[in-house]
A and B are shown apart, each in its own frame.
Chain A
């Protein structure tokens, strides 16, 4: 069988659940690296939890950082390997809950790393607990009656929180439909271009289906993103500064 996916991300069998969005993002990263000629240079830092599964399915030098700390760890890698592209890859629980300080301060320092945050609205690896990004009323294993925003506060929106920071790039993509997948690839590529231009902190959040923990069929889970999730979390480019630092 001929594979059209880049070899760097498809040499081993994936262990992601059926319908999971991580694999699509992995392919987009692999394609962008091929197109930019960076496949043999990319250094990645992934979070524990589902993000960590990439270590066995992509062929980039990879650190599995402590939960919520991949961006800080990626900054450490980049400070030493100044010529290499460095990617921090983590979920919304890691980036916006336990690692919010590391996420925010990397942006405030404008650390020169590309950050990809997978927003699937739950803690996936531990079995679908409420995340900062869970929608109001969303049923999870720790909000069995639906997320009560009078107690938990409103869902975390990275655009609201980081949209006015002095960083070169902030975008939100989605892997829930073909058009969004194509646009998301462009966001990832632009983030890496700015990164290689040493412009600073580039963040791409990606809405991604988690059928297993939402208890939905894969197609229905993606349709939910398009029909419901995007009403709150609009996709698009929110910061796109021109020029070099």
Chain B
């Protein structure tokens, strides 16, 4: 395997190109701007289309058009810009259109700040825009996963005709690591029966709009679509869960600290384990079936104040265990703090 050294955002952009994506529209915002910059020249090289739009609103609605025309499309943003994507995400869902959207999370409400964060968990996993929907959300924790999950995201978006979101963060986006890139893949814009091509005489006209208007069994269709995603698209990584007494639950950049914490704790005789959700939605509830009788509690480790993932862990475990949280905002979680908190949980102290 041949490796190259790449920045997370740029590796993600290159992965999109190699997945056959030939349309990008975006707007500058830290910490995702490298995706925009990279694709400004790379799209040109491969004969694709790059548009720096007037806003994320213009960008997402332009992407919707390119998707309706049959292209593989990607958009990226962060924080305030990702909020502007929400209108278009809801419309993509309504019209059953595939698209890959990247939120390189930065911290905070309003303008917030540009540092790494996991503060958009609720926005990403609960739908985010108006309506009655969720999207598949994939959370990479390395530059390599930025590449692998981007490719997967395009395939899933097409499989379900649904937007797929990559929930990255400033640290994953900005760090450099070795990465193996996949081979270049071609995408045929004529391969879908549903895309816009022009209506020949005697053919059915393509109506790309809310399915609600034209589908008799819409309720059933929608319910089945989400059930299928929940059944088939749960992804996670487990580490030392079988005999763990305290199981950490963490994704993205903070899960890397948790991996170290599990190793260090085990060397000290403390039975820590880790469940790392890779799909934030559908939430990997199957991962929690591996918990044994030795499990006494779980603790989410995440970079937001409110402990946004705690609810999902409680739901996934049927309220069987106490669920604690270790949340940070301005700093990355510390291994020592994780172990200290695990010790307090086990000794009945206040966490």
Contact = CB atoms under 8 A, between A and B. Distances in A.
B13 interface: no
A62 B207 contact: yes
A52 B91 CA distance: 14
A52 B205 contact: no
Interface stretch (B57-65, B107-115, B255-263): B57-65
Interface string A54-90: 0100011111111001001111111111001000000
A65 B65 contact: yes
Nearest to B48: A79
Nearest to A8: B199
Interface in B244-260: none
B91 to A, nearest CB: 5
A62 B63 CA distance: 15
A72 B207 contact: no
Nearest to B59: A72
B125 interface: no
A80 B66 CA distance: 6
Interface stretch (A39-47, A127-135, A224-232): A39-47
Interface string A102-143: 101100010000000000000000000000000000000000
A63 B68 contact: yes
Interface in B85-105: 87-88, 91, 95
A126 B65 CA distance: 25
A61 B65 contact: no
Contact of A76 (B63, B87, B206, B207): B63
A216 interface: no
A101 interface: yes
A192 B64 CA distance: 23
A72 to B, nearest CB: 4
A73 B59 CA distance: 9
B176 interface: no
A8 B91 CA distance: 27
A62 B205 contact: yes
Given A73-B65, A77-B66, A62 B58 contact: no
Contacts, number: 127
A72 B67 CA distance: 13
A20 to B, nearest CB: 21
B69 A75 contact: no
Contact of A77 (B53, B65, B95): B65
A221 B67 CA distance: 40
B33 to A, nearest CB: 19
A81 B53 contact: no
Contacts of B64: 63, 65-66, 73, 76
Nearest to A41: B198
B224 interface: no
B174 interface: no
B63 A40 contact: no
Interface residues of B, number: 40
Contacts of B57: 69, 101-102
Contact of B70 (A41, A80, A104): A80
A55 B207 contact: yes
Contacts of A84: 196-198
Given A64-B208, A79-B51, A43 B61 contact: no
A43 B196 CA distance: 7
Contact of B69 (A60, A66, A77): A77
A66 B207 contact: no
Given A73-B62, A101-B58, A102-B58, A81 B196 contact: yes
Given A66-B88, A80-B189, A102-B61, A59 B54 contact: no
Contacts of A80: 22-23, 49, 65-66, 69-71, 189
12 contacts: A60-B205, A62-B205, A65-B61, A69-B57, A72-B53, A73-B65, A76-B25, A77-B196, A79-B62, A80-B22, A81-B196, A101-B57
Given A63-B208, A66-B88, 6 more contacts: A8-B199, A60-B199, A66-B87, A79-B23, A102-B61, A104-B54
Interface in B174-202: 189, 196-201
B37 to A, nearest CB: 19
B209 interface: yes
A69 B57 CA distance: 8
B65 A52 contact: no
B49 to A, nearest CB: 4
A55 B49 CA distance: 27
Given A43-B196, A77-B196, A101 B54 contact: yes
Given A40-B201, A60-B199, A61-B205, A76 B54 contact: no
